[in-house]
Structure 1
Amino acid sequence: MDVNFRKIDIDVYDEDILHETELYDSDPRDPSQVLSDARQKQVAVRTALARSDIVGALSSILDSPPYGPGVDEAKDLTLQTLLTILNTTKAAEIPGVVKALSQDEQDTLMKYLYKGMAMPGWGDISGSVLLGWHEKLTEIAGTGCIVRVMTDRRLV
């Protein structure tokens, strides 16, 4: 009797299988263009932070984030730039910054917060920073923000 029947990939035989590329439209930009955009945003964020414009820095990094396959370097660069913004923001300023963001930007911020929490050891940022941002974002944007992020197939 064959006991390895559970290791058979039955999706190979299914005609109606749903592929990841069919779930959402990938980024129309070329991967090199996405990386170039991420580097330009990093420079823009640094200048905005030098002027103490946290809302401007956050808005620029959350605008058109890299999605899809083949842009992992741009995704990592964008995440590190965002973590820099989160680290340099004082806890008292967070509610005002979050209120100034649009709903799409709030949702994208939540995606990055979850991605930061998923990093082993949470990378270069302390857990209290990410959890503090998550708390304030949830208070302002509501639990609908969490639901939209969890159901969105596009990963940052």
Structure 2
Amino acid sequence: MEIAFRKIDIDVYDEDVLLEEELYDADPRDPVQVVSETKAKTSQVRSTLAKGDVAGALNIVLENAPYGPDAEEAKNINLQTLLSILGSTKATEIPAILKALSQDAQDTLMKYLYKGMAMPGWGDVSGSVLLGWHEKLTEIAGTGCIVRVMTDRRAV
């Protein structure tokens, strides 16, 4: 029985095929620069958290977040930093912190929450933490936040 036809990449012959680089916008910054900026942000976040300013630390992480297919290392560093902030925040403080964020920051946080939930085993943070933040963020930002995240082409 002939099965060689199953190994043919038919997308090569299709003009209308959608490539991955066409789906997601790339970060215009140099990947090495993005990684160094993200590592600098991580140290800023640690010093801000030491002062007890969770909202300030969250703003630092969410501002100018790396995105696109070329910045995987920076995106992972930023995600781990964000997860450490989320895991160390008391549940009673979450609504006030979320209200202090801008709409863009809220949308970026929602992207990171979904990325954290997509990790196998949910990474270093428990599922209840991510779901708690998701619940509070949806209450404050509304379902429009979810729609904006699902339709945005800048994947964190």
Question: Structure 1 stretch 24-33 or stretch 47-56: which is displaced more?
Answer: 24-33
Q: Match for residue 25 of structure 1? A: 25
CA distance in 1, matches of 2:148, 2:7: 34
Superposition CA RMSD, Å: 1.8
Shift of 1:92: 0.6
Dislocated runs of 4+, deviation >2 Å: 1-11, 16-25
Q: Match for residue 66 of structure 2? A: 66
Shift of 1:75: 1.0
1:102 lines up with 2:102 in the alignment: yes
Q: Match for residue 83 of structure 2? A: 83
Give identity over the alignment, percent. 72
Question: Structure 1 stretch 40-49 or stretch 24-33: which is displaced more?
Answer: 24-33
Q: Deviations over 1:76-102 (max 9, x none)?
A: 110110011101111011001111111
Describe how 1:1-156 pairs up with structure 2 within 5 A: 8-156=8-156
CA distance in 1, matches of 2:86, 2:134: 11
Q: Deviations over 1:78-129 (max 9, x none)?
A: 0110011101111011001111111111111011111111111111111111
- Give the letter for the 2:89 counterpart: T
CA distance in 1, matches of 2:42, 2:102: 20
Superposition TM-score, scaled by structure 2 size: 0.91
Any gaps of 5 or more consecutive residues in structure 1?
A: none
Secondary structure of residue in 2 paired with 1:52: coil
CA distance in 2, matches of 1:102, 1:2: 59
For these two proteins, the number of residue pairs brought into alignment is 156
Question: Structure 1 stretch 61-70 or stretch 3-12: which is displaced more?
Answer: 3-12
- Give the letter for the 2:64 counterpart: S
CA distance in 1, matches of 2:70, 2:44: 24
Superposition TM-score, scaled by structure 1 size: 0.91
Shift of 1:133: 0.2
Shift of 1:8: 4.9
CA distance in 1, matches of 2:123, 2:8: 37
Secondary structure of residue in 2 paired with 1:79: helix
